[in-house]
Structure formats: structure tokens, C-alpha cells
Amino acid sequence: MYTDNRKKIAISILIFIIIIIFILNGFSNKIENPKIKKDESYASIIDNSNNNNLETQNVEDKNSNYNLDYQTIFNNKLENNDNHSLVEATFNDQDILIDNNENNKPYKNDDAEYNPDKDDNFTINPDIPTPNIPVPNIPYPPKPEEEINPTPPTTNLSDLTIKINGKLITDSPINIVSQVVSAEMSPNFHPEAIKAQAVASHSYIRYNNDKGIYPSVGVRPINDNIKNLSAQVINKLVYYNNEISNTVYHATSAGKTNASVDVWGGAIPYLISVDSFYDDGNRFSNAKNWNTKVIIDKNRIQNMVKKNANINLPFGKEKDWFQFLSQSQGGLTSGGYIARINLFNNTHANGKAITGRDIREKILVENGKFLLKSPKFDINYSDNNFIFSTYGYGHGVGMSQDGANGYAANSLYSYIDILKHYYTGVQVR
């Protein structure tokens, strides 16, 4: 009897051990050489240096070689092996390595294997410890989440009509937008900035067309690069409260944009003053159109003011010809541009208060040409000459083109990030 009990116990222990081995073996098989298929298309970059999962950087990988969007951010910081940048990532809660295989060639080492000729699978070896790859501390824009549209996306690609030298031109959206953007931006600008300009130009023209207005715009022969980028976003428009937005734009701000109410008198909720870091020469050394000098002799000043504002400026009092007002006196807009200025104690010209925009667009004008780039300026007088220092280029309302290029190139903003930055509270769809 005692012997029989010992046999039963031994058999039970043996069965228990077999079951444990079977369970462990099954679990091991589950994780051996996992395959990442194309439909497993979402990844999030991991920073092991501080164990933070950068949730805002979730991106959809649309390339067959599993390049991640914004991969170029890390290329100079990651380990490189034969032109392969290894990025640590997670798929289905499993830490893996993604290979930045730009040439789409078969690749294999101890960490990973990729062969596009074998069902386009990317095989990870989970037995090799994942290296600790530091992620650089680069400021990111908040990545736009999937737009939740209360109305269907725009599919209306009806023709657009613009005015060129007084003549109405009607054509397809891609042809009109490509010509306008070719006139507005250099093809060497960052692709995301060009796409932002394409969407802004399209929205601006369609906003006006829907109201029976045909805006006068500049055009140039279509640049192929600009047309290709415009085509990628030609079905996108900017909306505020489900209505197409009046997406005005300008070349360069003065470090902050102008609010529409300070320039045209109408308050528009998405056209308020916002920061434009890459236009500010005090903060960004490569800012364009910053502190531009224009020298105009006193005789020309006197003649233009008399002709265009009907105000007499007396010689001998030149230092009193332009009288700036403080912020408390209403002299500056919310964006820091000149809101009010007096001309030798004259607060009004042609029955209206004199603004910085008036000085630029109506008074200091010769043969139809604006002599100043911006309604934000300083003035010095020396040796019978007025020296104007201007900041920015244009009216300053809406998107700054140079600012958009700066945000795209230096802060890695997408075209949607750019549009949402300069047009407050809008949606892009």
C-alpha cells in the first residue's frame, strides 16, 4: 500500500512537470521571431533614457520599409550601421527595433532582419537586448489628432476664379493654386510650409468666390515641385465653425502677427495676434526682413506727405514731423505694430486717424510703390535724411510665410500645425 502511494505521488509530480514544460514551451513559441505585417502600422517612439513614451509622436507608417514619419529628427542622434538608423519602438506592447532602411534593400544583423522580397516582412530577434538609444530633446508641436468632423470632408473641387491685372481667370483648383503659390513662395521652402501656403491660398480664394468676390492675386508660371506638393493637399481647406476661413497671409511678421481688427477694423476670431518666433530678429538670428533700412531725404518726405495726406511739414522742424504715441495712448497694436502716429501734431489725414498702415500704404508712396515694407518701423533723422528701420514685410495678418518656413524647418511643424498656429481655433479638412 505504501509503495502504491509513492508511485501515485511520483506519477502526479511527473505529470505536473510535463504540464509546466508544455506551458513554458508554448509561451516561448508565441514570441519567437514575430512578424510585423503591413497592417500593423502604428508605432510610438520610445526614449529609454528617461523611460518616457512620447505619446504625442504616434505616427502612421505608410512606407513598406517601415520608415517612421519624422525619422529625420533622429538620424544624426541614433546608432548608424551601414546607413541603417535603428529606432527603438513598440508594436503591440512589445519593444522592438525599427530599421531606417532608405534603400529598401534586404538587411540582417543580430538585432533585426528585413527582406522586401519575402512578403515584405520585418523580423525582430527578441533574444537580443535592445540598445539604449537616446532621443534628442527637440521641441515638437502638439501633433494634431484625427479631426472629428461634424460635417463630411470637403469634396467640392469646383473651378476657382481670380483676377490678374484686372482680368478674370477661371481654372481648376490645382492650376490656380499652383500658380499662386509659385508666386508666393520659393520652391526651396520646406515642403510643409509650401503645403500650408497651398491650403491657405485655396481657402482664401474659395472663401471670396463663395461670396461672389474674385480676389486680385499674383501668379507665376507653375513650378513642378510646388505643383506636386499642392496636389497632395488640394482637397484640404481651412474651416472655422464649419465655414471656410478667410486665410489671409503675408511675407514676414514683426515677431508677432497683427489682429484683423487692428488692420481692417473687423474682429475675426481666427485672425488674432499670435507669436511668430522665427520672424523675430531679437530671438532668431536668421530672421528675414528684420531691421531693413530705408533712407529718404526730407524733400521727398515733405512732397509725399503734402500730396498724399494734404499736410504741410515745415522745414526746420524735421525731428517733429513724425510723432510716435505710447502703448497707453493707443500707439501700438496688440502685435506691436504702429496703430496711431501724428504728423507734426496732425492726428488725422483726409478725415481719418493716421495709422502705421496709412504711412506705409497711402502716404510714403511714390508712383504707386510702397517705400516701407512694414507698418512697424523706427525713424532716425540725420543729415537731411530720414532713416526708417522696418520690421517684417506686409500687413502682418494671418500666416507669415517666412514664419511658416521657420516652424517647418526648425520646429518640425506639419502643414496642419502651421495653419492651426497662425489661424486660431480652425480645423483643416
As to burial, measured by CB atoms within 10 angstroms (0-12 exposed, 13-18 middle, 19+ buried), residue 344 is middle
Q: At 6, is the pLDDT very low, low, confident or very high (cuts 50, 70, 90)?
A: low
Q: Which three cell numbers stand for residue 405?
A: 518656413
pLDDT-derived band of residue 352, with 50, 70 and 90 as boundaries?
very high
pLDDT band at 393; cut points 50, 70, 90: very high
Q: Is 206 exposed, middle or buried (0-12, 13-18, 19+ CB in 10 A)?
A: buried
Q: How far is CA 30 from the centre of its chain?
A: 43
Domain ranges of the chain: 35-124, 160-283+397-428, 290-391
Confidence band, pLDDT 50/70/90 cuts, at residue 140: low
Q: Helix, strand, or coil here: 412?
A: coil
The whole-number average pLDDT for the span 371-392 is: 98
C-alpha–C-alpha distance, residues 344 and 10, integer Å: 111
Q: CA-based angle 184:188:190, to the nearest 5? A: 90
Task: Using alpha carbons only, give the angle 326, 327, 332 rounded to the nearest 5 degrees.
Answer: 100
Q: Which of the residue ranges 69-83, 146-160, 323-337 has the most confident prediction, judged by mean pLDDT?
A: 323-337
Q: Which of 24-28, 73-77, 357-361, 375-379 has the lowest mean pLDDT?
A: 73-77
pTM to 2 decimals?
0.66
Please check whether residue 329 is in contact with residue 340, taking contact to mean a CB–CB distance below 8 angstroms: yes
Question: 291 by DSSP, 3-state: which?
Answer: strand
More confident residue, 143 or 408: 408
94 — pLDDT class (breaks 50, 70, 90):
very low
Q: Which residue has the higher pLDDT, 11 or 278?
A: 278
SS (H, E, C) 326-384: CCCCCCECCCCCECCEEECCECEECCEECCHHHHHHHHCEECCEECCCCCCEEEEEECC
pLDDT (tens digit per residue) in 252-261: 999 999 999 9
pLDDT digits (tens, 9 = 90+) for 295-318: 999 999 999 999 999 999 999 999
Task: Note the pLDDT of residue 24.
Answer: 62
The pLDDT tens digits for 20-64 are 776 666 554 444 433 333 333 333 333 333 333 333 333 333 333
